[in-house]
Amino acid sequence: MKGKDFLSISDMADEDITSFMAGAVKLKAQGLPALCDGKTLAILFEKPSLRTRVSFEVAMRQLGGEAIYISPAEVGLGERESVPDVARVLSRYVDIITARTFSHTTVEVLADYASVPVINALSDREHPCQALADFLTIYEKKSKLAGLTLAFIGDGNNIAYSLLLAAALAGMNFHIASPAGYNLKKEMLEVARGYAARSSSKILLTEEPGRAVSGADIVYTDVWASMGQEAESEVRARAFAGYQVDKKLLSQAKADAIFMHDLPAHRGEEVTDDVIDGPQSVVFDQAENRMHAQKALLAKLLGG
């Protein structure tokens, strides 16, 4: 890691992502190694969660440590108490913090003021823990990362950005199809283009889903309206109408392509039931791997 924290996939820019995945596979096979014995994780969330919360709690327990969940109403981040003060207080009790925030700035301020490591458990900018689990899943299914092609269909959101960075670092080609106005932001692409030049991978931006999935080993989608964008749901549903991953679109990818989604899914919107429940779907392996990838991450950040 670049520093004590994991706020972005960019924090892994100096690491070999493929080696990290190989380590995570070994840890997954070990089950319950006491790598975080006596350590406590604070889970500080401003938004709802099923996978991230439960996978972090169970991961910490399996590593011999403990986790404390602090709900949005309890802490009132930046309302009941300033973000820097919350960071300073929590650092006196726990060994590591994971935070899910609306604004990415909040998780950055937490990290600045905490003396313990801070993990981004999803912000409006990135979801790096999801990308780690996804790349672990891809590594298990395809036995490599470099040279593959991942096609993301939908919003240029937090999931898309973390996947783009991970792909560019790992030497995986990244295609994204989004309607006009919803693609990844220019400054996000600049960072990724630097990584892609280093790893000799390609980035393709298009408005045509068929073009994005052509030759893809992985077809990935996410919700059209993320948490915090509920008021835009109807406008977005209209903009993304031609961006559903259905059987016809999936059939235009490689014959052995896998289908991925970070979940929760809005079935019938970004994906059809026959795709998400179909033979190419690996969505529940991805969900399980949240726990295994985070175990590797926790052990790493806590010096295990």
Q: Which strands make up the sheet holding 173-177, listed edge to edge?
A: 203-206, 173-177, 149-153, 218-221, 258-261
Among 62, 101, 130, 272, contact with ligand CP (rule: CB under 6 A): 130
**Contact status: 122 vs ligand CP (CB under 6 A):** yes
Q: How far is the CB of 110 from ligand CP (least distance, A)?
A: 18
d(CA 12, CA 245): 30
- Closest of 91, 47, 88 to residue 70, by C-alpha: 47
Residue with smallest beta-carbon separation from ligand NVA: 226
Among 12, 39, 51, 182, contact with ligand CP (rule: CB under 6 A): 51
Torsion of CA 303, 94, 9, 149, to 10 degrees: 80
Tokens 């500080």 -> residue:
44
Which one-letter DSSP state was computed for residue 253?
S
**Contact status: 226 vs ligand NVA (CB under 6 A):** yes
Which tokens in the block code for residue 270? 């970004």
Which tokens in the block code for residue 296? 């590797």
**Contact status: 126 vs ligand NVA (CB under 6 A):** no
Tell which positions 147-166 bind ligand NVA, by CB under 6 A: 157-159
d(CA 223, CA 202): 25
Which tokens in the block code for residue 196? 């892609």
Number of residues that bind ligand CP (CB under 6 A): 9
Tell which positions 226-285 bind ligand CP, by CB under 6 A: 262-264
Nearer to ligand NVA, 145 or 223 (CB): 223
**Contact status: 138 vs ligand NVA (CB under 6 A):** no
**Contact status: 114 vs ligand NVA (CB under 6 A):** no
Site string for ligand CP, 57-86 (x = CB under 6 A): ------------------------------
d(CA 91, CA 68): 13
**What are the residues binding ligand CP (CB under 6 A)?**
49-52, 122, 130, 262-264
